[in-house]
Chain A
């Protein structure tokens, strides 16, 4: 798929406003992510993180402002925009009656993409899925294993934008470390990654930029610098402060 975005940005959000009835959830959100960049969006409950993702995927219409995924507005052309996105929900939903390989083949088939068995296995390996799980039904998979299947799918689809919703929630430290390594792989492929999370440490480990979302807009943004990348204590202080009324 070829995208023609003059800005060359996989994701561009400008002055986005989203209302749920009388409640304003996003209030002038500005955000853009470059190819190969990992952006972590942090915020408390109700800050608008999930709504941001839903707006990017075209599931909620903006009241005003603009969202562009590789130049396509998801609100008006959701199918085209979604073809440029890989999405990992907090709880990855897969077809329980299919094996990991069959799930991948099915989702790739749906998106009209063809991959060889070798390519699928390479993606599984890159995602860290154990070989004996390739042909097992996913019904018995742990949360981490399901995420690996979803990551493999994202790798195989070669999409410009990857959206992650609380990716490390419920993962043990080792699995979180594995996952963070995978994000590095996505960055190397040139995919832009937007990660919505509560996990400050994981975000500090992997993200090139961290934005704090509060009351529907980004109130502070930090950029990774130097060998230590971030002042985690300062980030934590900001993250832990009371939310705006």
Chain B
């Protein structure tokens, strides 16, 4: 057995002899296992629930009786965001963003029913998921197990004794690192099992899962290196523990939690109320697309009359009110899209700020990698909102065109005062069946990997820095006088 493996074996043996270490490691492994099982079960449950609710609301929409098409525009439709398979490992912001959207005409609603609104406040601290345990708790265990790895030898005087047996500081550090990395690998085994399970699920893609696995292994290796580096650089084990706990508190607990606030301060986002008020002001200026005589739409009216070569809307071969609804929806949607684009642009700048903060914390980089690869980050949510809006616009415009084509202008105009006209303005329910259902198109695996790449690069840089610092730390250790 080489000196390196002998040092690693002795370090592991020492950890095994410590009841506190063994219990702590066992607890964390059990936590990962429980987090894996509950997370997979939760993901499966949520996916089933959302699929069932989606089928239910689709059926309700399809089974609506004969109605005026614009009633259906306001009746609206619910859609649910399906969870990606890797959400079982890292649900990301799913609990915070809401997962159901009510789609209707003239409005662009936001998603609702996030878990944080229905669960204990503890959800805000962090759900018990494999990602949370690995990102937050695993580094803590690595710190407790490894802070004394080298500092203890120095404090006990065995460091010089070891060197006098002809072992180099590099070999000593590598041996301690091997021991700590072995424990980290033990912690990672149940988490990697969850990833293998996820990989076997329908719709799971190998690329993002492999990147997630590599990311977490890098993250644990990084913490192992940091712990050994600090342990080799300070005079006493107690100092090593204090320094490492400080580092953990700042980079794992504090920065990831204040990073969004810092990003929000750097790139302020108007509140929901402010946005709604401004939006409503602009909407009012757009006129009322329900009113065929609204002066805002006078130019549109003239264009339509010219297009069809008639002088009055009553002479049009189609229902002018339907055409007006199509135009009104186009205009309001443009407005909504502009607001949404501005909002996403600000969020993208906030994300860039978060990336910058990621340089200060490997946990932020790890979190961003994990969520991006899982498709549970802000970009994943934005993709859902984009598709939801595209679907809403298409659905509403189909209904508006039905109003234009299947309902006469006379009946439409008289329906509020004439019962027979009102009855005639209702169209057959088979039209509702003809409306397409919402099917979320998940991102391509390559897109997920590409989105996670900046955080992966950041994590590798984080790995590189302490790894490079090990060599000078070993040189300083070689010259140790006590």
A contact set with B: CB distance below 8 Å: 54, 57-61, 78-80, 82-83, 85-87, 89, 91-97, 106-112, 157
- Asked whether, in the complex, the Cβ of A82 is within 8 Å of the Cβ of B166, the reply is yes
Pick the contact of B3: A87, A93, A95, A112 (CB < 8 A). Answer: A112
- Inter-chain CA distance A199–B241, complex, in Å, is 41
Interface segment, one of B87-95, B157-165, B323-331, B421-429: B157-165
Count of inter-chain pairs, beta carbons less than 8 A = 71
> In the complex, what residues of B have CB within 8 A of residue A96's CB?
156
Pick the contact of A89: B1, B160, B167 (CB < 8 A). Answer: B160
- Asked whether, in the complex, the Cβ of A93 is within 8 Å of the Cβ of B165, the reply is no
- Inter-chain CA distance A157–B166, complex, in Å, is 11
> In the complex, what residues of B have CB within 8 A of residue A107's CB?
161-162, 165
- Asked whether, in the complex, the Cβ of B157 is within 8 Å of the Cβ of A111, the reply is no
- Per-residue interface assignment for chain B, residues 467 to 479, with 1 indicating a CB less than 8 Å from any chain A CB and 0 otherwise: 0000000000011
- The CB with the most chain B CB atoms within 10 A, among A59, A79, A110, is that of A110
Pick the contact of A94: B1, B3, B158 (CB < 8 A). Answer: B158
Given contacts A59-B478, A80-B166, A110-B3, 13 further A-B contacts (CB under 8 A): A59-B479, A59-B481, A60-B481, A78-B478, A79-B167, A87-B160, A91-B157, A93-B157, A107-B162, A110-B7, A111-B167, A112-B3, A157-B165
Q: Is B66 part of the binding interface, using a Cβ–Cβ cutoff of 8 Å?
A: no
Q: From residue B403, how far is it (CB to closest CB) to chain A in Å? A: 84
- Inter-chain CA distance A39–B345, complex, in Å, is 79
Jot down 24 A-B pairs with beta carbons below 8 A, ordered by A. Answer: A54-B481, A57-B160, A59-B478, A59-B479, A59-B481, A61-B479, A78-B163, A79-B167, A82-B163, A82-B166, A83-B165, A83-B166, A85-B164, A87-B164, A89-B160, A93-B157, A93-B158, A96-B156, A97-B17, A110-B162, A111-B3, A111-B166, A111-B167, A157-B165
- Asked whether, in the complex, the Cβ of B165 is within 8 Å of the Cβ of A82, the reply is yes
* Residues from 131 to 160 in B contacting A, C-beta threshold 8 Å: 156-158, 160
- The CB with the most chain A CB atoms within 10 A, among B158, B160, B165, B479, is that of B165
> In the complex, what residues of B have CB within 8 A of residue A93's CB?
156-158, 160-161
Q: Is B480 part of the binding interface, using a Cβ–Cβ cutoff of 8 Å?
A: yes
- Asked whether, in the complex, the Cβ of A87 is within 8 Å of the Cβ of B161, the reply is yes
Pick the contact of A110: B6, B17, B160, B478 (CB < 8 A). Answer: B6
* Residues from 1 to 31 in B contacting A, C-beta threshold 8 Å: 1-3, 6-7, 10, 14, 17
- Asked whether, in the complex, the Cβ of B479 is within 8 Å of the Cβ of A60, the reply is yes
- Chain A, Cβ-Cβ closest to B6: A109
Q: From residue B152, how far is it (CB to closest CB) to chain A in Å? A: 10
> In the complex, what residues of B have CB within 8 A of residue A89's CB?
157, 160-161
> In the complex, what residues of A have CB within 8 A of residue B481's CB?
54, 59-60
> In the complex, what residues of B have CB within 8 A of residue A112's CB?
2-3, 166
Given known pairs A95-B158, A109-B1, A110-B165, the reply for A59 and B10 (CB within 8 Å) is: no
Q: From residue A206, how far is it (CB to closest CB) to chain B in Å? A: 22
Q: Identify the 8 closest CB pairs spanning chains A and B, nearest first.
A: A93-B157, A83-B166, A111-B165, A110-B165, A87-B164, A109-B6, A93-B158, A79-B168
Q: From residue B236, how far is it (CB to closest CB) to chain A in Å? A: 15
> In the complex, what residues of B have CB within 8 A of residue A91's CB?
157
- Inter-chain CA distance A80–B2, complex, in Å, is 16
- Inter-chain CA distance A91–B157, complex, in Å, is 9
> In the complex, what residues of B have CB within 8 A of residue A59's CB?
160, 478-481
- Inter-chain CA distance A111–B164, complex, in Å, is 9
- Per-residue interface assignment for chain B, residues 161 to 204, with 1 indicating a CB less than 8 Å from any chain A CB and 0 otherwise: 11111111000000000000000000000000000000000000
- Inter-chain CA distance A1–B179, complex, in Å, is 29
- Chain A, Cβ-Cβ closest to B13: A97
Q: From residue A108, how far is it (CB to closest CB) to chain B in Å? A: 8
- Inter-chain CA distance A107–B167, complex, in Å, is 10
- Inter-chain CA distance A244–B6, complex, in Å, is 48
- Asked whether, in the complex, the Cβ of B166 is within 8 Å of the Cβ of A79, the reply is yes
Q: From residue A88, how far is it (CB to closest CB) to chain B in Å? A: 9
- Inter-chain CA distance A91–B160, complex, in Å, is 12
Q: From residue B178, how far is it (CB to closest CB) to chain A in Å? A: 14
> In the complex, what residues of A have CB within 8 A of residue B165's CB?
82-83, 107-108, 110-111, 157
- Chain B, Cβ-Cβ closest to A58: B478
- Chain A, Cβ-Cβ closest to B5: A109
- Inter-chain CA distance A97–B18, complex, in Å, is 10
> In the complex, what residues of A have CB within 8 A of residue B1's CB?
109
- The CB with the most chain B CB atoms within 10 A, among A54, A94, A106, is that of A106
- Asked whether, in the complex, the Cβ of B157 is within 8 Å of the Cβ of A82, the reply is no
- Inter-chain CA distance A93–B479, complex, in Å, is 18
- Chain A, Cβ-Cβ closest to B163: A82
Q: From residue B254, how far is it (CB to closest CB) to chain A in Å? A: 36
- Chain A, Cβ-Cβ closest to B482: A59
- Inter-chain CA distance A80–B167, complex, in Å, is 9
- Inter-chain CA distance A194–B308, complex, in Å, is 114
Pick the contact of B10: A61, A86, A106 (CB < 8 A). Answer: A106
- Inter-chain CA distance A112–B14, complex, in Å, is 21
- Chain A, Cβ-Cβ closest to B481: A59
Q: From residue A84, how far is it (CB to closest CB) to chain B in Å? A: 8
> In the complex, what residues of A have CB within 8 A of residue B166's CB?
79-80, 82-83, 110-112
- Asked whether, in the complex, the Cβ of A97 is within 8 Å of the Cβ of B160, the reply is no
- The CB with the most chain A CB atoms within 10 A, among B14, B479, B480, is that of B479
> In the complex, what residues of B have CB within 8 A of residue A54's CB?
481
- Inter-chain CA distance A215–B383, complex, in Å, is 78
* Residues from 433 to 482 in B contacting A, C-beta threshold 8 Å: 478-481
